[in-house]
């Protein structure tokens, strides 16, 4: 299991002045993105609408990541409540996500200090189907 973070691509897109055209979505939901292959399950977690320099913004971002982690792990392992595979999947996904979340929040804080715009961004949570 692994978490994929596409911050570099999103940052490049943002710094170029281009934006990705996407349909309107509820920003509080993680959304399913195109799968690299049929053995990978992923969710994209948006944070471009959050102020990650505030405690409330960081909390909302963590909640969105939690929704994505639960979603990919439930899909990867199936809905068996007695199966430890889902628990293990979530534990691993969170372990991999935490340092990446910290990097995103740190980047937002640096951008705020420097007065630069961060543009549209998201991270991708991806796990292997079991």
CA-CA distances (angstroms) from residue 108 to 44, 47, 70, 92? 18, 10, 25, 25
Q: For residues 125 and 68, give the distance between their C-alpha atoms in angstroms, rounded to a whole number.
A: 7
Q: Is the pLDDT of residue 10 over 60?
A: no
In the chain, what is the greatest distance between 2 CA atoms, to the nearest angstrom? 50
pLDDT of 1 reads: 40
Residues 6+ apart with CB under 8 A from 112: 53
Among 9-18, 21-30, 102-111, top mean pLDDT goes to: 102-111
DSSP 17: T
Q: What is the separation of C-alpha 109 from the centre of its chain, rounded to a whole number of angstroms? A: 18
Percent of the chain with pLDDT over 90: 32
Q: pLDDT digits over 26-70, tens only?
A: 444 444 334 456 788 889 999 999 999 999 999 999 999 999 999
């Amino acid at each position: 299991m692994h978490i994929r973070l596409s911050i570099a691509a999103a940052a490049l897109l943002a710094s170029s002045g281009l934006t990705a055209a996407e349909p309107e979505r509820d920003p509080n939901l993680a959304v399913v993105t195109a799968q690299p292959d049929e053995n990978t399950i992923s969710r994209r977690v948006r944070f471009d609408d959050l102020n990650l320099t505030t405690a409330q913004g960081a909390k909302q971002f963590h909640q969105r990541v939690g929704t994505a982690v639960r979603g990919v792990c439930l899909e990867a392992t199936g809905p068996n409540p007695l199966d430890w595979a889902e628990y293990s999947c979530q534990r691993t996904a969170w372990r991999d996500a935490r340092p990446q979340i910290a990097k995103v929040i740190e980047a937002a804080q640096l951008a705020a200090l420097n007065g630069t715009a961060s543009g549209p961004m998201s991270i991708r949570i991806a796990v292997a189907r079991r």
